[in-house]
């Protein structure tokens, strides 16, 4: 029996219970643990008690969820692999994969939920609506048709390398349609990196297949919705499941197709609990499912992760290419604005400002990208040097002018803006740096004299996590863009992903240079992807661009216009950029040419956290653990933001040229770490965790 046992309790991954009736492996049951009743999963069934135990000494299973089909062997194998590879308890991973409300129900309550499920339309269509196969379909481009033909024959994981606007979503739709026409009982799983991309994709799938066949799984659902959609997937009623990274663990007994859209996005890597990669697990899950019936996995992106690109270069993935945009739409032309030649301290360079006004005057839209929300990153007093630091984190509290607040984006602490410097009383405290709020305000002032084609003023709006916090605000802002009610949209990276804006002809990137010289070796890869994805929002409607006779452009303000990253960006040449980055990674033996893990520790003091990591290092050396000879263990260091919510954080990096050696070491190290946690060296330690294949150091 697998349960979510308390952390560091000393209990194993599974416990033994007795049942008077024969249960199926994968069945859900309720069992006692101490004084509580918990949801458990029957993982193994034995006809005789384990060695050293007698049936009478085992606690009984309280009840089985007989109305619910058992979880499949492939699902259990996926969870076993995820727990083993990412170094977490099996019970923690398995129970976290189930909807939270399921843990609170008994068998009779679950029976009532299953009865209500009959006839439910999951994605918002009318009650009792039948699946629609007659929705109009656009004509395929030659590239799309070639890719679909290759998908029919392929047996490897597929890396779909398609330019922004090349029609990758239509390929996903056609692949799912072909699958369901061939096998009406089959199921498909489509993953997207963020919740805000789910509604528009959901609308397209519902239009094509009908709401009865489509369910969604993400953290934005209410507990009742999440349970209902999970049950629909588990029972087979939902043929297509859309979701964020958590949906990779959905129970889909007839899974035959997995799509990972924008597969390069770091959001697919969990940063809490079991730190799994949904993209990597999608590839593994497809292999598992293919043991019983062919299951295809498609990883789609205009800027694939370097790990995926390298896998395709080695022949482990089949790479399919769609370089052209739909209906002959052109890719944006890069224009670099050398800030060395612009007025000092200017937020928006005059040539860019003039271009924004010209686009608005012709009825075109523009997108301004600044990946920093708030009005300014910090308030400062130039008389005494005070800064608006968060009292609980080693980070600044961000100034939000709209509500005159200082907010920490790490722990959520908020306070009012002081009238004067808290340390010296100086009244002249000022914002330092710029965020999306300030850019929105500044553009509104600079474009006050500009006019739209109807003679009205230019309308500037903002799209970031703050402006879309209220329910329905994201949908409202996107609708305004689609209907032409906004002329200039200012946003963070959330505007660069997947949105199909039809009237944008200009995209501008501000403050991009931090990604050129970062200490994070992945920063150039992320910057290139962000700029190319943002550029892909422009010029998507070829007919509109032709009618306007518009120049589709990406403007980038930079102090380093000669940087080689911009040369590849100007050509939209991701293969050249990837080759250059992989050469650098190979020379430095960085991933994907080596494999990494982090041991993280949290305590009330930095000294305690680092001392425990040092003790963990020493214990590994003393024990001579397997794989140690092929490992490099670096000294413990604080995280970049070392204190969050009053908790000090430190980490130790492990690196090896061999994935098996790293895994063997981590598996042997786990018992030592648990034991060390209970020894004097662990006194004062709050938490520790292992992060395998980290995406940020």
Strand blocks (E) in 548-646: 553-558, 595-603, 632-633, 637-644
Cβ-Cβ contacts under 8 Å for 239 (sequence gap 6 or more): 131, 180, 184, 186, 187, 188, 209, 213, 214
Please give the structure tokens belonging to residue 576.
């050249």
Look at residue 26 in the predicted model and tell me its pLDDT: 96
295 is in an annotated binding site: no
Per-residue pLDDT at 382: 93
Residues of the chain with CATH 3.40.50.300: 120-325, 329-373+435-587
HSE, side-chain direction, 13 A CA sphere, residue 437: 18
Asked whether residue 393 is marked as a ligand-binding residue, the answer is yes
The residue among 42, 75, 7, 522 whose CA lies nearest residue 273 is 7
CATH class of this structure's domain 329-373+435-587: alpha beta
Instruction: Kindly state the tokens that stand for 452.
Output: 């739209």
What's the CA gap between 503 and 537, in Å, rounded? 9
State yes or no: 206 annotated in a binding site: no
CATH topology of domain 120-325: Rossmann fold (3.40.50)
d(CA 553, CA 574): 18
Flag whether 408 is marked binding: yes
The pTM (predicted TM-score) of the whole model is: 0.94
Residue in the block written with tokens 């150039």: 524
What is the number of other CB atoms lying within 10 angstroms of the CB of residue 222?
A: 9
SS3 (DSSP) at 239: coil
Question: Is 421 annotated as a binding-site member?
Answer: yes
pLDDT less than 70: residues of the chain: 6-12, 52, 55-56, 119-135
Lookup result for tokens 């029996």: 1
Tell me yes or no: is domain 595-692 CATH 1.10.10.10: no
Give the model's pLDDT for residue 126: 35
Give the residue range(s) of CATH 3.30.70.260 domains in the chain.
Answer: 595-692
Closest CA to 499 of 194, 282, 215, 248: 194
User: 346 labelled as ligand-binding?
Assistant: no
d(C-alpha 256, C-alpha 9), whole Å: 39
CA distance 60 to 588: 56
384 is in an annotated binding site: yes
Where, residue-wise, is CATH 3.40.1440.60 in the chain?
A: 1-71+80-97
Q: Are strands 187-191 and 255-261 parallel, antiparallel or unpaired?
A: parallel
Q: Return the beta strands (E) in 108-192 as ranges.
A: 158-162, 187-191
For β-strands 632-633 and 296-301, DSSP reports them as unpaired
Domain 1-71+80-97: what homologous superfamily? PriA, 3(prime) DNA-binding domain (3.40.1440.60)
- Please give the helix or strand (H or E) that residue 430 lies within, else none: strand 429-432
Pairwise CA distance, residues 408 & 405, whole Å: 10
Number of helices (H) and strands (E) in the chain: give both, helices first: 18, 26
């Amino acid at each position: 029996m697998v349960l979510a046992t308390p952390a560091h309790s000393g209990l194993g991954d599974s416990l033994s219970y007795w049942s008077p009736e024969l249960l199926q492996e994968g069945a859900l049951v309720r069992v006692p643990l101490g004084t509580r009743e918990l949801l458990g999963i029957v993982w193994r069934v034995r006809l005789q008690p384990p060695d050293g135990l007698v049936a009478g000494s085992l606690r009984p299973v309280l009840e089985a969820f007989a109305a619910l089909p058992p979880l499949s062997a492939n699902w259990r194998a996926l969870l076993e692999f995820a727990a083993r590879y990412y170094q977490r308890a099996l019970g923690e991973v398995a129970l976290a994969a189930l909807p939270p409300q399921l843990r609170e129900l008994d068998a009779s309550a679950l029976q009532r939920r299953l009865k209500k499920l009959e006839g439910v339309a999951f994605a918002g269509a009318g009650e009792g609506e039948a699946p629609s196969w007659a929705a109009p379909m656009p004509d395929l481009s030659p590239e799309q048709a070639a890719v679909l033909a290759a998908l029919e024959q392929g047996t490897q994981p597929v890396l779909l390398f398609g330019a922004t606007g090349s029609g990758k979503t239509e390929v996903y739709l056609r692949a799912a349609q072909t699958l369901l026409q061939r096998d009406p009982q089959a199921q498909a799983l489509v993953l997207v990196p963020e919740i805000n991309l789910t509604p528009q994709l959901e609308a397209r799938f519902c239009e094509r297949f009908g709401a009865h066949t489509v369910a969604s799984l993400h953290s934005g659902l209410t507990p009742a919705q999440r349970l209902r959609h999970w049950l629909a997937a588990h029972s087979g009623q939902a043929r297509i499941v859309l979701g964020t990274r958590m949906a990779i663990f959905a129970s889909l007994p007839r899974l035959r197709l997995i799509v990972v859209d924008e597969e390069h996005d770091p959001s697919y890597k969990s940063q809490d609990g079991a730190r799994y990669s949904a993209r990597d697990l999608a590839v593994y899950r497809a292999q598992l499912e293919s043991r019983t019936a062919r299951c295809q996995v498609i990883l789609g992106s205009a800027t694939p992760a370097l790990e995926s690109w390298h896998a395709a270069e080695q022949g482990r993935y089949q790479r399919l290419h769609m370089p052209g945009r739909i209906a002959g739409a052109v890719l944006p032309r890069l224009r670099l604005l050398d800030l060395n030649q612009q007025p000092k301290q200017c937020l928006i360079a005059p040539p860019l400002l003039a271009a924004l006004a010209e686009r608005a005057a012709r009825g075109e839209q523009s997108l301004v990208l600044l990946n920093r929300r708030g009005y300014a990153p910090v308030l400062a007093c130039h008389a005494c040097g005070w800064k608006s630091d968060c009292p609980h984190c080693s980070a600044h509290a961000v100034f939000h002018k709209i509500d005159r607040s200082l907010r920490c984006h790490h722990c959520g602490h908020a306070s009012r803006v002081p009238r004067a410097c808290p340390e010296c009383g100086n009244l002249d405290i000022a914002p330092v740096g710029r965020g999306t709020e300030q850019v929105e305000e500044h553009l509104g002032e600079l474009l006050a004299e500009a006019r739209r084609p109807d003679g009205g003023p230019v309308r500037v709006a903002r799209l970031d996590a703050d402006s879309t916090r209220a329910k329905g605000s994201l949908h409202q802002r996107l609708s305004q863009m689609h209907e032409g009610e906004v002329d200039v949209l200012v946003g963070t990276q959330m505007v660069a992903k997947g949105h199909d804006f039809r009237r944008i002809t200009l995209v501008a990137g501000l403050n991009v240079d931090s990604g050129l010289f970062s200490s994070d070796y992945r920063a150039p890869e992320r910057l290139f992807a962000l700029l190319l994805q943002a550029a892909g929002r422009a010029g998507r409607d070829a007919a509109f661009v032709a009618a306007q006779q518009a120049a589709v452009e990406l403007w980038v303000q930079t102090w380093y216009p000669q940087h080689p990253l911009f040369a590849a960006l100007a050509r939209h040449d991701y293969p050249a950029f990837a080759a250059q980055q992989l050469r650098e990674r190979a020379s430095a033996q960085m991933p994907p040419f080596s494999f990494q893990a982090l041991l993280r520790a949290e305590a009330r003091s930095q000294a305690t956290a680092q001392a425990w990591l040092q003790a963990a290092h020493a214990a590994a050396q003393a024990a001579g653990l397997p794989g140690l000879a092929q490992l490099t263990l670096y000294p413990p260091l604080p995280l970049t933001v070392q204190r969050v919510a009053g908790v000090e954080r430190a980490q130790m990096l492990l690196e090896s040229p061999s994935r098996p050696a790293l895994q063997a070491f981590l598996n042997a190290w786990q018992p030592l770490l648990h034991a060390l946690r209970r020894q004097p060296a662990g006194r004062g330690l709050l938490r520790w965790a292992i992060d395998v294949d980290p995406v940020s150091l």
